[in-house]
Amino acid sequence: MFAVRLQVLAVLLASAVWLQAAQDRTPPAAGEEPAAPLTSNPQVLVIFSDDSSQSWIRQLTDGFYVAGAEGGPNAPAWYFEYLDAVRFQDARQADHFQTAIREKYRDRRLDLIVPVGSNAIAFATRVREELWRDVPVLFASYAGSVRGDAKALRNASSLSFESGYGDALATVKDLFPDTTTIVVAAGISAVERALEADLGAAVTRAGLTFSDLSATTMAGALEEVAQLPQHAVLFIAGGQVDERGSVIPTWQLCDMMSSTANRPAVMLGAQFLGCGIVGGLMRDYLKVGTIIGERAAVALSRDRPAHEVMPFQAIATMKFDARQLLRWHVDEARLPAGNVVEFGEPSLWRDHRRELLIVLAGLIVQSATIAALLYERRARQKAEVDSRRSFALAAHVDRRAAMATLTGSIAHELNQPLSSILHNAEAAEMLMTSNRATVEELRDILRDIRSEDARASQIVQRHRAMLRQHELEKRPIDIHAVVRESLQLIAHDAAARHVQIEADVPQMPCIVVGDQILLQQVLVNLVLNAMDAMKTTPPGRRRVTVRSAVDGDAVEVSVADRGPGLTPDVSSRLFQPFMTTKPDGVGIGLAIVRSTLDAHRGTIHAGNNGEGGATFRFTLPLAVMA
């Protein structure tokens, strides 16, 4: 529905514009004043020699609009008219055109007249006094100088462009050094024959032989271009009208002649590149129209007329057709600098050289970065291996020091099963001596001996594991069992120090992924440090509380003492290597504790208790069970 409304609105707007334009074109009735101009901007009438269907005329028109856009809100309002002088050469046609122009613009305030091309200049010169006596005129010629009688008119300026024939022919000689003859196809109309004369003079000045097509029919012309001399180049300069007076589109003419010719073909208009010509230094009509439009704006504001000649280089462009270069065996390396080659086969290097260089530079930088990162990764891996080895060695040394401290505890633990074994052996001997031993009694005694022996073996294995050099091995373990076993290791030492250990550890298993030996070392270190901290505490108050609790996806284990607590200077450096408050301490125990927990993705914190003493808390992530 919205699209329909937009279409209706567009039709209404277009109708309003058309009605306004029709009203403006309607002659005023007798006694009425002429209609006011549609715009307060300067109004410029541009008269072209050729008809509006020609490609160069369309590009000239586009150039005027480009110049107008650069002028901003005060840009001229352009009006375009076309003499079509090639097809209408009768003098009466100029009279008809004059009448049509007079009637069409009699109610328009024209601020400037711009005839473009030799025929338009001749027409404007003839009718100036009658049609535009007091209106400034800017005569513009893009193929040579403006005629003298036009420049001599009152309030008339001129802008002419060098024809460029000489520069274009020089480029032809550079491309085809063996060229001796320029064969010109200029057409049969009077206007085209006049252009052919100018081109012929330029060919002679270039030291080449001038030759034109003698055929008066299109079929004859095609036969001639198919049999050109060996060192000739075909210059297509015209041929818009054939022998019957029919218009031949210039592009079609170029295509027919260049495809039939046995020698290379060139033209002066850049808009024809692609129709079969080789290319070269050619006239860019968009540039021509833009410059004329800019000079028209200047002429509107200038009091004194100016006469300017523009060099051909100002409107020239160097372009080539890659297909024709290949057809006539022209190496692109021989082309003049600053050229543009179109219609070539896609070439990644030629068409995207800048992008490829950027990508290549990026790849080089990326490769160098990757190499540096790989080197750094390798060095980091080596450093990590060395660090793990150093850590394992330090942990091993720390465990040996801890086990040395617990020597009495080890002896006490072993003493119990060994004493039991001894007592059982003595009982068996007594029963056998008194002949009162039965098989069942001896079997029970042997069972007790075997059980105590296994217990002693477990104690030895546990302490041997703590003393053995050990690398980090992660596997699912019950952290609660690790806590209880660690407390068993230090139970005798705690009793010897008159320290009461309170354990609040659930019986339910709590599975984490870690190394049992290293986590035992964490517990042993923390409990030993807690007991060391209570040396000055009265024996009746010496108590270490060990708790374990699950919180979300982690388990927290805490070790609390009733010592003097942590001083601020100690708290800030607590887990740093070689930091110790013990007279005979090394200062690596807590550093190893933190490194061990880091390796298990755990954390550790320490703080003072409100009732005195300090508490160390560490957390470990729970294992994700399948």
pLDDT in tens, 5-44: 444 344 344 344 334 444 444 444 444 444 445 568 899 9
Host H or E run for residue 544? strand 543-551
Give the closest residue to 249 by CA, choosing from 234, 271, 282. 271
What is the average per-residue pLDDT within 356-362? Answer: 89
pTM value?
0.54
Residue 18: the pLDDT is: 38
Rg (CA), the chain: 53
**Distance of alpha carbon 324 from alpha carbon 299, whole angstroms:** 43
The DSSP secondary structure of 238-307, one letter per residue, reads ---B-TTS-B--HHHHHHHHHHH-SS-EE-SBGGGTTSS--EEEEE-HHHHHHHHHHHHHHHHH-SS--E
What is the average per-residue pLDDT within 301-305? Answer: 76
What is the average per-residue pLDDT within 111-118? Answer: 95
Residue 550: the pLDDT is: 92
Going by their DSSP bridges, the two strands 603-608 and 475-478 should be labelled as unpaired
Tokens (6 digits) for 395: 């942990």
Residue 219: the pLDDT is: 85
As to burial, measured by CB atoms within 10 angstroms (0-12 exposed, 13-18 middle, 19+ buried), residue 546 is: buried
Query: Which residues lie below 8 Å from residue 316, measured CB to CB, with a gap of 6+?
Result: 164, 167, 281, 282, 283, 284
**Distance of alpha carbon 356 from alpha carbon 2, whole angstroms:** 47
CB-facing half-sphere around the CA of 553: CA atoms within 13 A: 5
> Residue 130: left (phi > 0), alpha (psi -120 to 50), or beta?
alpha
How much is the mean pLDDT over the chain?
A: 82
Residue 476: the pLDDT is: 93
pLDDT digits (tens, 9 = 90+) for 44-55: 999 999 888 888
Which CATH superfamily includes the segment(s) 38-162+284-312? Response regulator (3.40.50.2300)
Residue 30: the pLDDT is: 40
Residue 491: the pLDDT is: 83
pLDDT digits (tens, 9 = 90+) for 598-623: 888 999 999 999 888 999 999 999 98
pLDDT digits (tens, 9 = 90+) for 549-588: 998 899 999 999 999 888 887 777 777 766 566 655 556 6
Give the closest residue to 295 by CA, choosing from 284, 307, 311. 307
What is the average per-residue pLDDT within 221-238? Answer: 92
Residue 378: the pLDDT is: 87
**Distance of alpha carbon 290 from alpha carbon 143, whole angstroms:** 16
pLDDT digits (tens, 9 = 90+) for 404-430: 555 555 565 566 667 667 767 777 777
178-192 as b/e: b if 16+ CB within 10 A? ebebbbbbbbbbebb
Q: List the single range of 356-365, 426-435, 506-515, 571-580 with lowest mean pLDDT.
A: 571-580
CATH architecture, domain defined by 165-283+313-353: 3-Layer(aba) Sandwich (3.40)
**Distance of alpha carbon 63 from alpha carbon 83, whole angstroms:** 19
Cβ proximity of 199 and 192 under 8 Å: no
Residue 291: the pLDDT is: 95
Cβ proximity of 114 and 49 under 8 Å: no
**Distance of alpha carbon 47 from alpha carbon 489, whole angstroms:** 112
Higher pLDDT, 398 or 69: 69
Give the closest residue to 160 by CA, choosing from 302, 300, 303, 291. 291
Q: Which CATH class is domain 471-626?
A: alpha beta
